[in-house]
Amino acid sequence: MSDASFPVEHYGIAVKKGNAELLGKINKGLEDIKADGTYAKIYASHFGTESK
pLDDT tens digits, 9-19? 888 999 999 99
Overall residue count recorded for the chain in this entry: 52
**Predicted pLDDT at 4:** 72
Residue 3 pLDDT more than 80?
A: no
Dihedral sign of CA atoms 37, 43, 45, 50 in order: negative
Q: Average pLDDT, stretch 19-30?
A: 97
What is the percent of the chain where pLDDT is above 70? Answer: 88
What's the predicted TM-score (pTM) here?
A: 0.68
For range 24-52, the mean pLDDT = 90
19, amino acid identity: N
